[in-house]
Amino acid sequence: MIYLFASDIHGSAYAMHTLLNIFETTRASKLILLGDLLYHGPRNDLPQEYNPKETCRLQNSVKESLICVKGNCEAEVDQMVLEFPVLSDSATMYLERFGGRMIYLHHGHKSLPPLPSGTIVISGHTHIPVAEEKDGLVFINPGSVAIPKGGFPPSYCILEGTTFSIKDFEGNVIKSLTI
């Protein structure tokens, strides 16, 4: 199975359309959104094709395929228009390919809880792609599909087999990590 991870859409209909095209062409079984789905927040410029209503409609169109966690820009009112759970601060996954290791999903704006060594931590928030092992944990950040920072292009992450590949919208690998 292939998993697609993305974060920090910030209401960009352009980024969401692009992400759904990638989701379809990669035939990923799940689209995991790591927060900041609809709004840009006061510190960010408006993203390309800023349209929270259209972004919401697009996200609802694939609700059966989504796993989401709450970002720092989500509000309770968002849950009124989104047809999938969006207000959990974190989620966990366990995939056989990682031999029982936990995958801890969160946005990244809150401190990590105590996690067992070997945990794979996948977060967004910084808008900067990361794929590294540090202090007994694996850290993956797909960057941002709408408002990238640090000189990076818009990006997302594909998990295929045991390899996390962070890619730009043209499919070029920015960072990669095999576990």
What local confidence, expressed as pLDDT, does residue 156 receive?
98
Residue ranges of domains in the chain: 2-178
What local confidence, expressed as pLDDT, does residue 129 receive?
98
At residue 106, φ and ψ (nearest 5 deg) are -160, 170
What local confidence, expressed as pLDDT, does residue 44 receive?
85
What local confidence, expressed as pLDDT, does residue 164 receive?
98
pLDDT digits (tens, 9 = 90+) for 100-116: 899 999 999 999 999 99
What local confidence, expressed as pLDDT, does residue 42 receive?
85
Under DSSP, is residue 66 helix (H, G, I), strand (E, B) or coil?
strand
* C-alpha angle 124-62-142 in degrees, rounded to nearest 5: 20
What local confidence, expressed as pLDDT, does residue 178 receive?
98
pTM of the model: 0.96
* CATH class of this structure's domain 2-178: alpha beta
pLDDT digits (tens, 9 = 90+) for 31-44: 999 999 999 888 88
Judged on CB neighbours under 10 Å (0-12, 13-18, 19+), 67 is middle
Q: Please give the C-alpha separations between residue 14 and each of 65, 67, 163, in angstroms, as whole numbers.
A: 20, 21, 27
What local confidence, expressed as pLDDT, does residue 36 receive?
97
What number of other Cβ atoms are within 10 A of residue 26's Cβ? 17
pLDDT digits (tens, 9 = 90+) for 112-137: 999 999 999 999 999 999 999 999 99
How many whole angstroms separate alpha carbon 23 and alpha carbon 25? 6
With a cut of 70, which residues of the chain have pLDDT below it? none
What local confidence, expressed as pLDDT, does residue 74 receive?
96
What local confidence, expressed as pLDDT, does residue 61 receive?
98
Amino acid at 118: G
